[in-house]
Amino acid sequence: MARPDIPLAQLHAFVVLAEELHFGRAAARLGIAQPPLSQQIRRLEDKVGHALFRREPGRVTLTPAGRELLPAARRALTDLADGLAAARAVGSGQAGRLRIGFAASLALTVLPDLLRTFRQRFPGVHLDIREMTSAPQLTALRDKTIDVGLLREPPAVDAELEFRTVLSEPFVAVLPAAHPLAAQRVVPLAELADSPFVLLPRAAGPQLYDQITGLCAAAGFPPRIAQHAVEWQTVCALVGAGLGVSLAPASIRRIRLRGVAFRRVEPGTARTRVAVAWVRNDQSPLVAHLLAAVGHDPRDRP
């Protein structure tokens, strides 16, 4: 990599003069007096070793050497200006790429709102959204494969990672509209003991799965799992089709499906927490912006 030791001011003067072909006007456009411009050009010509302009009485023209240099000078200046602007945008978090991992169960709740507001505030940022369950998110964060994670039931503490609860929601019972319990506004958990369950497979989200089965166990019965489905959408459809009932985070209500009813469960103390995760001391302004965009669960304040 060579080092062409030429002040950019000279190049700028050169380009402007090449456009104006008139020392007075060019100097005016540069906001300097005419003599300094003459000097700039002269110094540049000295460095190049050849005249760049032909000064004929009444008109200034580019020499062949000048014509050769002009496009390169222009490119160099614009490249630099653009690169600088881009670097500043990235540095200030107005541009760049943010890789977000998210748990599938959030695709219908926090994620859409989050993406919408973030996109609106930082349209220059490319969002790399990838669905992944909680454990892989944690390792991906540590490996710097993703910058931010959105997951359920975060670990309490972690040496490298930080978490913030975004939302804490109760569970609801998902029932076929024709189910006897659908007539009640509140469903005691124990009364679900006789109904077959439709759930996500445990592999899709162990924390949530275990929490749900734990709830049933606490109510005195092990859930009889009749069917697995990999998306909440499908779970609801199967429930609507009468294959069973389900227990799900309350935000599942967003899925409106004919023949499916959502009912509060009793006891209502159990809640799932949705959290953002990021690596401790991450300097990236994009992560900071995202954290600002998600806000926090009001109940999360100590």
Partner DNA sequence: CCGCGCCATACGCCTAGAGATATCACCTCA
Partner DNA sequence: TGAGGTGATATCTCTAGGCGTATGGCGCGG
Residues forming contacts to its own copies in the complex (CB under 8 A) are 1-9, 11-12, 15-16, 48-52, 54, 63-69, 71-84, 86-92, 96-97, 283-284
Contact partner at residue 32 from its own copies, DNA, none, CB < 5 to 8 Å by partner kind: DNA
Residue whose token pair is 């200006």: 81
Structure tokens at 13: 């003067």
Q: How far apart are CA 278 and CA 138, in angstroms?
A: 9
Q: How far apart are CA 150 and CA 140, in angstroms?
A: 12
Shortest Cβ 43–its own copies spacing (Å): 14
Residue (39 or 242) nearer to its own copies, CB: 39
Alpha helices in the chain (DSSP H): 8-20, 23-30, 34-48, 64-91, 110-121, 134-142, 206-218, 232-240, 285-294
Structure tokens at 297: 């669960």
Shortest Cβ 30–its own copies spacing (Å): 9
Between CA 9 and CA 20, with CA 14 as vertex, the angle to 5 degrees is 125
Shortest Cβ 79–its own copies spacing (Å): 5
Shortest Cβ 160–DNA spacing (Å): 15
Residue (39 or 92) nearer to DNA, CB: 39
For strands 53-56 and 196-199, give the pairing.
Answer: unpaired
Shortest Cβ 64–DNA spacing (Å): 17
Question: In whole angstroms, what separates CA 295 from the centre of its chain?
Answer: 14
Structure tokens at 160: 């490298």
Residue (38 or 233) nearer to DNA, CB: 38
Helices 8-20 and 34-48 cross at an angle (nearest 10°) of 110
Contact partner at residue 88 from its own copies, DNA, none, CB < 5 to 8 Å by partner kind: its own copies
Residue (165 or 284) nearer to its own copies, CB: 284
Contact partner at residue 92 from DNA, its own copies, none, CB < 5 to 8 Å by partner kind: its own copies
Q: How far apart are CA 137 and CA 139, in angstroms?
A: 6
Residue (260 or 279) nearer to DNA, CB: 279
Shortest Cβ 36–its own copies spacing (Å): 14
* Residues engaged in binding DNA (CB under 7 A): 5, 7-10, 22-24, 30, 32-36, 38-43, 53, 55, 57-58, 60
Task: Please say whether the dihedral angle defined by the alpha carbons of residues 45, 49, 52 and 56, taken in this order, is positive or negative.
Answer: positive
Task: Please say whether the dihedral angle defined by the alpha carbons of residues 212, 277, 126 and 113, taken in this order, is positive or negative.
Answer: positive
Contact partner at residue 60 from its own copies, DNA, none, CB < 5 to 8 Å by partner kind: DNA
Shortest Cβ 77–its own copies spacing (Å): 6
Contact partner at residue 86 from its own copies, DNA, none, CB < 5 to 8 Å by partner kind: its own copies
Between CA 140 and CA 146, with CA 142 as vertex, the angle to 5 degrees is 40
Contact partner at residue 42 from its own copies, DNA, none, CB < 5 to 8 Å by partner kind: DNA
Residue (53 or 118) nearer to DNA, CB: 53
Contact partner at residue 77 from its own copies, DNA, none, CB < 5 to 8 Å by partner kind: its own copies
Residue (5 or 194) nearer to DNA, CB: 5
Contact partner at residue 145 from DNA, its own copies, none, CB < 5 to 8 Å by partner kind: none
Structure tokens at 65: 């050497």
Structure tokens at 271: 């809640």
